[in-house]
Structure 1
Amino acid sequence: MDGLDVLGKLENEVVVKGLSAAQVWRFLTDTSKWEGYYDNVADISFPEGGGPALKDGLVFSFGTFGFPPLDALVPEFQAPADGVPGRLSWTAKQDGAPAEKLDVLHAWLVEDLPGGRVRILTQETQIGQPAAALAGERPNPMLPGRT
């Protein structure tokens, strides 16, 4: 985006035994569960209807890190199946003056592995001065608060 500071890319990968991709998928896609395991989300709404389950093309809104609610869109939604990893991503934007603009992408890959294990890969980018300001705080509030 024009004139915006890039925070960068964050990535987190974990392999867990005793869970399936389908079990993890429910927590990622059912927004009514988010506040039960992630303290830094609030005011989830669906301005065009739908929800609380995410699906391809769904528009939703949510608050995080004290920002005004972000408008979000789900551009990728592929539920996990036999031999097929689950893929989910959502984008969120906040327009306004340069000091307020944000452009965010969160993406997940959830796949079953041999031995009763599941791999969860999370990638995210944040572009904009508000995200850059948060990244400059110590401790960085975005790192322990990632989903």
Structure 2
Amino acid sequence: MMNSIIWPVEYLPGQTDNFVSNEVIISGLNSLDVWVYLETATLWPSYYKNSADVVLNNAQDHLSLGTEFFFKTFGFPVNAEVVEFIQPQQNIAGRIAWYGWSGEGDTRLDVHHAWLIEDLSHNRVRVLTQETQIGQPAKELAKTRPNPMLNGHQEWLDGLIEIASTHSKG
């Protein structure tokens, strides 16, 4: 059985203004091959064009539990805090999740963005990313076609897999 995202109650999919889910399963990589490029937030702009100006408060370039950080994405300046961080290990899925916020009043957007990276049988890795959003901008994004969140997160996944594959020792 595959793992799933752990949601805070206020961010449960179906209860928020917008929800997107993207997933890839690929052979020839393991969870640690992928993990390093996700936890090292300062690398995001190198493989995901919709990410810019990543700044972490912990004087390092990688995320950890409690790390506060800033980045720009989808035209939004986002402040965020890592609320879940479990590095993948044998038989344990890797998990990174952050709470992010941007704007005030009618432009306020609150999000919970979660990632799950797990090794599967037959030398495969699964990367799942899901995000829920609350606020007027989320309502507008949910109606936009093509869906910028769905397509943007797919680009993030594709870039993550490409950089991990390029640098994999396996």
The question of a shared fold, defined as TM-score above 0.5 by the shorter chain, is answered with yes
Q: Which residue of 2 aligns with 1:84?
A: 92
Q: CA deviation at 1:112?
A: 0.9
Q: Which residue of 1 aligns with 2:36?
A: 26
Structure 1 stretches of 4+ moved >3 Å: none
CA deviation map 1:45-92 (0-9, x unaligned): 12x33331011110001111112x211000110000111111111110
Q: CA deviation at 1:95?
A: 4.5
Q: Which residue of 1 aligns with 2:19?
A: 9
RMSD after superposition: 1.8
More helix per residue: 1 or 2? 2
Q: Distance in 2 between matches of 1:21 and 1:66?
A: 30
SS at 1:142's partner residue?
helix
Name the % identity. 45
Q: CA deviation at 1:94?
A: 2.2
Q: Which residue of 1 aligns with 2:110?
A: 103
Query: Number of residue pairs matched?
Result: 141
SS at 1:15's partner residue?
strand
Q: Distance in 2 between matches of 1:32 and 1:63?
A: 12
Q: Distance in 2 between matches of 1:32 and 1:94?
A: 20
Q: Which residue of 2 aligns with 1:113?
A: 120
> Where in structure 2 are the equivalents of 1:41-56 lying within 5 Å?
41-46=51-56, 48-56=57-65
Q: CA deviation at 1:115?
A: 1.1
Structure 2 unaligned blocks of 5 or more: 1-9, 157-170
CA deviation map 1:89-111 (0-9, x unaligned): 111012411x2111111111111
Structure 1 unaligned blocks of 5 or more: none
Instruction: Output the TM-score relative to the length of structure 1.
Output: 0.87
Q: Which residue of 2 aligns with 1:57?
A: 66
Contact 1:50 1:58 in 2 (8 A): no
Q: Distance in 1 between matches of 2:61 and 2:140?
A: 31
Contact 2:117 2:128 in 1 (8 A): yes
